[in-house]
Amino acid sequence: MRLLLCTAGDDAAAWIAELRRALSSAQVDLWPTPEAHAADYALVWKPPHRLWPELKRVKAVFNLGAGVDALGGAVGLRREAKIVRLEDAGMAQQMAEYVCHAVLRRYREFDVYAEQQQAGLWRPRPRACKQRFGVGILGLGVLGRAVASALQPFGFPLRGWSRSARQSDGVTTYCGAFELDAFLAAADLLVCLLPLTPDTRGLLDRERLSRLPQGASVVNVSRGAIIDEEALLCLLDSGHLARAMLDVFADEPLPPGHRFWHHPRIALTPHVAAITQVEESVAQIAEKIRRLEAGHPVTGIVARDHAY
Ligand code: NDP
Ligand code: OXD
């Protein structure tokens, strides 16, 4: 069996070592190589689009991340090839940690206390009412559901929005465009865990962000281009939104001089909410390759018409 690795990162050696350990009989090639046409399976992260037509006999392409937006629809990839994304693979717990931090930070007003510390102020604030701190999770997929479960013990009213109707214990669920406004109106803290697709690009525009309650906060941990960043800044400046915690940006790395860097009510991190874990990812991919070779179905297949 021949595997092809094409990664934009500087971590090719780690992936190759782990692949050789997990699938010892496989030959692993690193792209670019004239051997790309012979690959049975490709493992890719942010590949250049000229890769696709080279994969003449590939059976499946494994995306080395949960989000497949960087595949650009894989135009030119043979129709028979499956596209498979990572499902959790060590990311769900990291995402839960990040979002729980963001929610508690906002609910317990730790940013306000940090400002008060800078000003030398000893000023206790009253306990905020939990029932009036609704947390809305956009996207109830693998990561959205993990986040909801991790938040449950804290007792915030939890709501989730997805494309198809979903049931999730302890979460009031909404689905489709028709229910989005009602969902937003109840989200005192909005967590974005949607994939970036043609349907979700720019979804959180000025009008939709304005539907959040006065004083709401936004946490974006999926993809920057889902939010209209200028509208987010305007609504923070006008005071309609209180704070934002952002891990992802339309343009990454976030350009020097971007207003987000020094905005007093934005906390940001450099796309680290959930970092791909080589060992767990390879274990998941190796198991899926074994299943595919044995003619069994696998989960995590990207529906090309939905782009996620
Ligand atoms: P999933 O595919 O498991 O879940 C996606 C969810 O979004 C599903 O509930 C889906 O609905 C919903 N959804 C998709 N399109 C729409 C739409 N048009 N309208 C309403 N709901 C929609 O993805 P994951 O949970 O695994 O990952 C989510 C995203 O997180 C990734 O795509 C990636 O962009 C991001 N990510 C960010 C990381 C970081 O470090 N910042 C790390 C890892 C991932 P339905 O349930 O009906 O299918
Ligand atoms: C992913 C990511 O999609 O790291 O996995 O953003």
Q: How confident is the model at residue 9 (pLDDT cuts 50, 70, 90)?
A: confident
Would you call 208 a catalytic residue per the annotation?
A: no
CA 192 to chain centre: 8
Sheet hosting strand 216-220, strand order edge to edge: 171-175, 158-162, 135-138, 189-192, 216-220, 241-246, 266-268
Map out the domains of the chain as residue ranges: 2-89+276-293, 91-268
Q: Which whole-number Å values give the CA distances from 189 to 31, 100, 216, 258, in the listed order?
A: 43, 11, 6, 24
pTM of the model: 0.97
Question: Is the C-beta atom of 217 inside 6 A of ligand 1?
Answer: no
Kindly report, residue by residue over 188-215, the tens digit of the pLDDT: 999 999 999 999 999 999 999 999 999 9
- Identify the H or E element spanning 42: strand 41-45
Q: Are domains 2-89+276-293 and 91-268 of this chain identical in fold?
A: yes
User: Quick one: fold of 91-268?
Assistant: Rossmann fold (3.40.50)
Selecting among 271, 290, 291, 296, the annotated active-site residue is 271
Closest ligand 1 atom to residue 222 Cα is 35
What one-letter code names the amino acid at 38?
A: A
Question: Is the C-beta atom of 142 inside 6 A of ligand 1?
Answer: yes
Closest ligand by atom to 226 CA: 1
User: Quick one: fold of 2-89+276-293?
Assistant: Rossmann fold (3.40.50)
Q: How confident is the model at residue 186 (pLDDT cuts 50, 70, 90)?
A: very high
Kindly report, residue by residue over 254-302, the tens digit of the pLDDT: 999 999 999 999 999 999 999 999 999 999 999 999 999 999 999 999 9
Kindly report, residue by residue over 45-87, the tens digit of the pLDDT: 999 999 999 999 999 999 999 999 999 999 999 999 999 999 9
Selecting among 101, 223, 259, 263, the annotated active-site residue is 223
Would you call 223 a catalytic residue per the annotation?
A: yes
Q: How confident is the model at residue 305 (pLDDT cuts 50, 70, 90)?
A: confident
